[in-house]
Structure 1
Amino acid sequence: MNDSMTPDAVSNEYVYQLDRQNVFHSWSSQGNLSPLVIAGGRGCKMWDYSGKEYLDFSSQLVNTNIGHQHPKVIAAIQAQAGELATVAPAHANLARGEAAKRILAHAPQGFEKVFFTNAGADANENAIRMARAYTGRDKILSAYRSYHGNTGAAIVATGDPRRVPNEFARGHAHFFNPYLYRSDFWASNEEEECERALMHLKRVIECEGPKSIAAILLESIPGTAGMLIPPKGYLEGVRRLADQHGILLILDEVMAGFGRTGRWFAFEHFNVKPDLIVFAKGVNSGYVPAGGVVVSEPICRHFDDHMFFGGLTYSGHPLAMAAIVATLDTMEAEGIVDNADRVGNGVLADGLKQIAEKHAIVGETRGVGVFHALELVSDRDSRAPLPAPAMAKIKGALIEKGLLPFVVENRIHVVPPCIVSEAEVEQGLSILDDVLSTAG
């Protein structure tokens, strides 16, 4: 076999070597990689070329909400490819219009149009651009415990350390959002954490200059930062602070939206309505890259007679739009959001609580729907995070036993597809329990 030919029977080894010789990976030191080979998937299961099966408790990057290879979504993509594979965004297209219509049907009253992007990062970019144009202000406030994407303004809006080598965009400031388990406010309960976090944000707004701030950008429920459920009253308090100073509120629903929390949008768990909604990932389970911004009526009216200086070649790409239409229709028809609520807040949440009570290595479990995290510690009293080598060992053991985890820092994010069954949850929890038993 020469380098330009594939073998008659593709193997794990061939695909692994092909990747290592030719692919440059994201967020990685390239010389230290050992990527897992995946050949196919269906529902909540994936497998390699040897036939070894994995239960996907990561939803890849928390995006395959409808599971892998749903036949109705695959058929819709195939049909659209046969009819019209691509079209410029300036044209009207049936798939794009139908996708926007369906997204708006799940948005709160007062949202009027959808601007489509290629992913969550450029959706945040364009939401920021809209906020600046609408308000005539420049500054964006966002949380330290956040992730908003890897493009120019999105990565600077991001709070986690990946921001630091990439700080090339202007006009960003950060604040601490609530995280009671590791409170920055010396809080001992949820009420104190909420009150003090809001006071902190109020002071940041005052010190940054209220009339300079275009928007506050927040994940409704921070995901990559650890499934940080906002305390009761926090998002409502942020909304009040924003309104007090004429600041827009952008809620990033890229990871938490479209069924992940057992609701269509995560902010539905809270008494709050944003000015702009950012989405991607679960809107079509990542089958074809897509994201966007749901735009409220006042902002739409502004751009009726003001130029919007933004656009993308693949905005509203028909294959992605067909995938959105089929995904949202199927989620409704098959009760997938309700399943995420019932299973996620039932057997999954209950099982994780039992694991947390059983294993001293678990400092806390938290989450909603199929959006949970186990925070692992080396000592429960000090809450010292479990070190990276120990986390790597746990991750390796989970994969070896057939569970695909989403591991971030000292946390295992438990985020199976929204279609996950109770039996699959029990299978995954059993593997977690077994691995944690040997780890600590």
Structure 2
Amino acid sequence: MTTDDLDARAKQLDSDHVFHSWSAQAGLDLPVIAGGRGTVVWDHAGHRMLDFASQLVNVNIGHQHPAVVAAIQAQAAELATIGPATANLTRGEAAARILSKAPDGFAKVFFTNGGADAVENAIRMARLHASRQNPGRDTVLSTYRSYHGNTGAAIVATGDWRRMPNQYARGHAHFFGPYLYRSEFWATTPEEECERALHHLERVIQSEGPSTIAAVLLESVPGTAGILVPPPGYLAGVRALCDRYDLLLILDEVMCGFGRTGRWFAFDGHDVVPDLVTFAKGVNSGYVPVGGVIISDPISKTFDDRVFPGGLTYSGHPLAAASIVASIDAMQDEGIVDNARRVGEEAIGPGLRALAEDHRLIGEVRGEGVFWAIELVTDRETREPVGADVIGRLKKELTSRGLLPFTAENRIHVVPPCVVTAGEVDQAMSIYHEALTSVEADLA
């Protein structure tokens, strides 16, 4: 077969036999990815693309990092799998590496298969811990602009449209988090947005009844909902409300953790310590499916003499554990988290702000590290979002110019791997500029 034949066969097999998530199946035209390295992927024919989606915002360390690949290979040769009801050195080392980046007061990690079941089990832990002395504290509060995964409780905790056809879990209520560009609180400054959002949350807590609530669940920085970096003081304010009403705080770091914001954990920059932390994605860049919950000592002690009613066949899988150890070591040794912070401050942020000056479709750019969003509007005064047709055209223009984008609603998320260089950012900015120019000309 020629390389073109391999690409055609990959497309045909995919079309014939693969059922894709979050999609109507007819008419899908997906790019073929045969290989990758760093921030670049390519098809069988060798057509290269900058991956400014990091796939699903998870390839933080970049594609095919040699140390991580070697660690998986070595572990497979030594012990390819083992059940969770065993002690395993690699699993223990993975937990220790994760805890080395967590705040004081966390000594245990529960491993899962991914982010959704990490959230699922964090909710379970919170409910059982909260109800040990006060039975019936089951409710979990989460924001409308959020995504927490596609399992029973995680999807109901999610705030967007994907929750609606999947409401099979009980005990969930939602509130509005801060989003100054489209403020629900008539705010005009970050300080007003923070104060009013916290007041709103407190009223929801009071209205739902604190004695019925187990936890508040938040993405430290909501990702799929729009890279909504919380205003200064907001997360600390939520922590204070949780303390005031004796609620647990779960911070979802599945997408924003392990370097994505230029910090090991996104919450590190917000003067807050949660009770439970969920993780996945960036902890090993998705090389092997894995996630988990970092558990504070008081919650961990709840299960010292009480059985935790949860488990997974592949919890702490040795291949996943080996990839975590290698990923965290490489990110630390190579300064990858610092690179994400520096590139965000010196290249992505300035580049996106320059784009906003040149393009009338851009209403706002926001973000930090390698975690940014371009919000697109038909009119800057009314802030009316562009439609799916405009996003579809932009996606096609970007892809045809050699950039793999991440799009959501009326936004383009600029989320390259943490290893991205300033030169690659400059290349991407030129592609964004060309694509926006083309679409704006068509709309004129």
Instruction: Give the shorter-chain TM-score range.
Output: over 0.9
Contact 1:378 1:384 (C-alpha < 8 Å) held by counterparts: yes
Structure 2 residue runs without a partner (length 5+): 132-136
The CA distance in 1 between the partners of 2:204 and 2:117, in whole Å, is 26
The superposition leaves residues 45-75 of structure 1 with CA deviations (integer Å, 9 ceiling, x where unpaired) of: 0001111100000000000000000011000
For 2:269 and 2:354, locate their aligned partners in 1 and report how far apart those are by CA, in whole Å: 24
Match of 2:112 in 1: 117
- Residues 256-315 of structure 1: CA deviation (Å, up to 9, x unaligned): 000000000000110101000000000000000000000001111111111110000000
1:221-300, aligned counterparts within 5 Å?
221-300=221-300
- Structure 2 partner of 1:4: none
Cα distance, 1:32 vs structure 2: 2.8
Letter in 1 for 2:50: L
1:145 offset after TM fit, Å? Answer: 0.2
Query: Shift in Å at residue 119 of structure 1?
Result: 0.2
Q: Distance in 1 between matches of 2:258 and 2:126?
A: 23
The aligned residue for residue 417 of structure 1 is: 417
Whole-angstrom CA distance in 1 between matches of 2:272 and 2:436: 38
- Distance (Å, rounded) in 1 between the aligned partners of 2:124 and 2:215: 10
Give aligned-pair identity as a percent: 65
Q: What corresponds to 1:399 in structure 2?
A: 399
- 8 Å CA contact 1:261–1:371 kept in 2: the answer is yes
Distance 2:269 2:53 in 1: 23
Matched, 1:108 2:94: no
Contact 1:76 1:326 survives alignment (8 Å):
yes
RMSD: 0.8
Which residue identity is paired with 2:421? Answer: S
Pair 1:41-2:36 in alignment: yes
Tell me which amino acid in the other structure corresponds to 1:211: S
Task: For residues 216-245 of structure 1, give each alpha carbon's deviation from its aligned partner in whole angstroms, at most 9, with x where no partner exists.
Answer: 000000000000010111111111111111
Q: Paired residue for 1:371?
A: 371
Runs of 4+ in 1 over 2 A off after TM superposition: 7-10
Distance 2:349 2:192 in 1: 25
| Aligned equivalents of 1:395, 1:35: Cα separation in 2 | 12
Match in the other structure for 2:157: 157
Using the size of structure 1 for normalisation, the TM-score is 0.98
Report Cα offsets for 1:299-333 as digits up to 9, x if no partner: 11111111110000000000000000000000011
- Is 1:54 matched with 2:49? yes
Paired AA for residue 116 in structure 2: A
Q: In the alignment, is the contact (CA less than 8 A) between 1:345 and 1:370 conserved in 2? A: no
User: Superposition pairs for residues 51-90 of structure 1, below 5 Å?
Assistant: 51-90=46-85
Query: 2:139 matched to which residue of 1?
Result: 139
Matching residue within 12, 22, 31 for 2:17: 22
Contact 1:146-1:224 within 8 A present in 2 as well: yes
Q: Scaled by the length of structure 2, what TM-score is found?
A: 0.97
Partner of 1:170: 170
SS across alignment from 1:204: helix
Report the secondary structure of 2:293's partner residue: strand
Tell me the distance in 1 between the aligned counterparts of 2:15 and 2:439.
30
Unpaired runs of 5+ residues, structure 1, are: 1-6
Q: How far apart are the structure 1 equivalents of 2:95 and 2:120?
A: 19
Match of 1:373, SS? strand
Matched residue of 1:347: which SS? helix
Instruction: Return the letter of the residue paired with 1:210.
Output: P
2:318 aligns to what?
A: 318
